[in-house]
Homo-oligomer: A and B are copies of this chain.
Amino acid sequence: MKLTEAKQQFISSWGAFGTHWGINRTMAQIHALLMVSPDPLTQDDVMAQLDVSRGNVNMNMRDLISWGLVDRVILSGERKEYFTAEKDIWKVATQIIQERKKRELEPMLKLLAHLENIEGDKKDKEVKQFVDTIAGIRKFGKQADQMLSVMVKADESWFLAGLLKIFK
């Protein structure tokens, strides 16, 4: 297979993959493109390679930057802005975990804590099931939250060595 074709296939699959995880296609595709590009690209480069509009590239690039997955780069002597993506996949993963934790998991845990305090007789099975379910999810979520915190701070090799200890 030729590089161009492989690249195209990777970008397109990464985009489709993203849509299954709540990430819009173009954003995932820009990320994929930057990950396989050795040098920083301009907005025009991305527009040309993915065949999308300037506004679209601009907005999604901003989002990617807010997720900490892409950086603006100024090349000396150049007027244009360039963009580059983190290529260490462990760093990419921990960055995404950190952001989703902050944006989604933590607010959810806050809500669940709130919902546990309902009036009503615990003898009523409707009440009991509700409280038990909420409590169960919250406990699980808190454990996940802690585990992910450690993971985010961890070094990849240390983390993998640790997993081996459990799983062998």
Binding site for B on A (CB under 8 A): 1-3, 6-7, 9-10, 13, 17, 19-22, 35-39, 87-90, 93, 104, 108, 111, 115, 117-120, 125-130, 132-134, 136-137, 139-140, 143, 146-147, 150, 160, 162-163, 165-167
- So how many copies of this chain end up in the complex? 2
CA distance in complex: A152, B36 (Å): 32
Question: What is the CA–CA distance of A94 and B163 in the complex, to the nearest angstrom?
Answer: 18
Interface pair B3/A134, CB less than 8 Å apart: no
Contact indicator A6/B115 (Cβ below 8 Å): yes
How far does the alpha carbon of A70 sit from the alpha carbon of B162 in the complex, in Å?
Answer: 35
Q: Which residues of B contact A17 (CB under 8 A)?
A: 104, 108
With contact pairs A22-B21, A108-B13, A133-B87 given, residues A147 and B118 touching in the complex (Cβ less than 8 Å):
no
Checking B10, B90, B136 against A115 with a beta-carbon cut-off of 8 angstroms, the contacting residue is B10
Q: List B contacts of A150 (CB < 8 A).
A: 166-167
A-B contact pairs, 17 of them (CB 8 A): A3-B127, A3-B130, A6-B115, A10-B130, A10-B134, A20-B22, A35-B133, A36-B130, A36-B133, A38-B128, A39-B125, A87-B132, A87-B133, A88-B136, A89-B140, A150-B167, A165-B166
